[in-house]
Amino acid sequence: MKVYSNEIVFRGHPDKVSDQISAALLDEYLKQDEHSRCGIETVGGKGKIFVTGEVTSKGEVDVQAVTKRVLRDIGYSDDYEVINNIGLQSEDIALGTNDEVKGAGDQGMMFGYACNDTKQLLPTAMVILQKLAMKYDELVHSNELFYADGKAQITGYYDDDMKLQKIKDFTISYQNAETDRETTDKILIDYVTDLCKSYGLEVENFLINPTGKFLIGGFEGDAGLTGRKIVVDAYQSFGKVGGGCMNGKDPSKVDLSGAYMAREFAKELLKKHDLRWCEVQLSYAIGLKKPLAIYITSDKGNIEPDEEMYVRAMPENIISELDMKHLCYEKQACYGHFY
């Protein structure tokens, strides 16, 4: 029996707040100009939020208003100084990604993963943590004892096929008023216990705020930075992770669009070949349309990609097929991009 762990952070975690601000700004630019080119980074901490990166767009976005709206939506005060340091996208990059060339916005490799554990075609432990994160967001907005920051982790027993058999430790670190921990802990333990039972799983041990206290959180407790939670955004360590963050980037950036297409391929191949799991790697060179390579592995061995996959994986075709100019990226940044 193997012991393996995976993790999620809640919406109010400083890194996730930064992800959501970057994504919300991207949404606004794309809403005003679907040809916007964006690579937006956010760092927050100690009363200041610094927004930087590059944007080329006909849209005019109020960076301060969007940033403060995101903070309020998550459950924080908007009493922050917002510093706008966004500049123009490099003309050198634009040479390879403009509407005439339509090449990949960067080099790199992206991974897509799917498995038959759940109806979402994702690992059971990953789905459980996503549902907990969504529930926690509800509690933050309905119960004044719960504050926005937090994270959770499952350490589970797995069989030789990496099927989760039992949960050894369920760890939850959550920010709260620290006035009635017996009540707030019980709310979380009861919810998780019932949730795990719905998947036929027992929890041996709960670790709730192992330091004993979690009152100071958010940007007052820690700095936050866009792109520091790429494992949470992808497959929580069950699948490989590419080198780039998906938040704050328009879909010409293959860190985003390539990762979404790789996931689509993995889901399709899982069903087509009756697989237990499938992982797809796409790789690109900046300015070129077609992927350099598509590598597919699964529980039944390697699968040879066909030419149609190379064509579908061209950035302009991904954007069209998956309607990527009209997704709500702020929503995608909340709990992980795949759910």
Query: What 3-state class would DSSP assign to 126?
Result: helix
Query: For the chain, what percent of residues have pLDDT higher than 70?
Result: 96
* Res 101: pLDDT: 55
pLDDT digits (tens, 9 = 90+) for 225-269: 999 999 999 999 999 999 899 999 999 999 999 999 999 999 999
Token look-up 């930064």 returns 18
Q: How much is the average pLDDT of 12-28?
A: 98
Residue 96 pLDDT exceeds 60: no
- Asked whether residue 167 is assigned to any structural domain, the reply reads yes
* Res 259: pLDDT: 97
Number of domains in the chain: 1
Indicate the residue type of 17. V
Q: Greater confidence, 88 or 148?
A: 148
- Asked whether residue 265 is assigned to any structural domain, the reply reads no
Residue 94 pLDDT exceeds 70: no
- Asked whether residue 330 is assigned to any structural domain, the reply reads no
Residue 220 pLDDT exceeds 90: yes
Q: How much is the average pLDDT of 192-204?
A: 98
- Asked whether residue 153 is assigned to any structural domain, the reply reads yes
Residue 38, both tokens: 């964006």
Regarding pTM above 0.85, the answer is yes
Q: At 330, is the pLDDT very low, low, confident or very high (cuts 50, 70, 90)?
A: very high
- Output the average pLDDT for the chain: 95
pLDDT digits (tens, 9 = 90+) for 39-78: 999 999 999 999 999 999 999 999 999 999 999 999 999 9
Catalytic residues, by residue number, are 13, 15-16, 41, 54, 151, 214, 222-223, 228-229, 249, 253, 255
**Could you tell me the CATH number of the domain that includes residue 199?**
3.30.300.10
Q: Round to whole Å and give the CA distance between 185 and 162.
A: 30
209: domain range? 2-7+123-217
User: Please, which residues bridge with residue 85 across strands?
Assistant: 52
* Res 91: pLDDT: 67
- Asked whether residue 289 is assigned to any structural domain, the reply reads no
Q: At 135, is the pLDDT very low, low, confident or very high (cuts 50, 70, 90)?
A: very high
89-to-38, 40, 95, 106, 303 alpha-carbon distances in Å:
7, 10, 11, 13, 38
Q: How much is the average pLDDT of 279-292?
A: 95
